[in-house]
Amino acid sequence: MSEESGPYCETPSAALPERAEGPPYAECVLCRKPTEYAESVKGITLCPVCEWQEAQRTACSG
How sure is the predictor about 1, in pLDDT bands with cuts at 50, 70 and 90?
Answer: very low
Contact 45, 27 (CB under 8 A): yes
pLDDT score of 29: 93
> Which class for 12: exposed (0-12), middle (13-18), buried (19 or more C-beta within 10 A)?
exposed
Q: What is the pTM of this model?
A: 0.60
Per-residue pLDDT of 2-61, as tens digits, reads 455 555 555 555 566 677 777 888 999 999 999 999 888 888 889 999 999 999 988 876
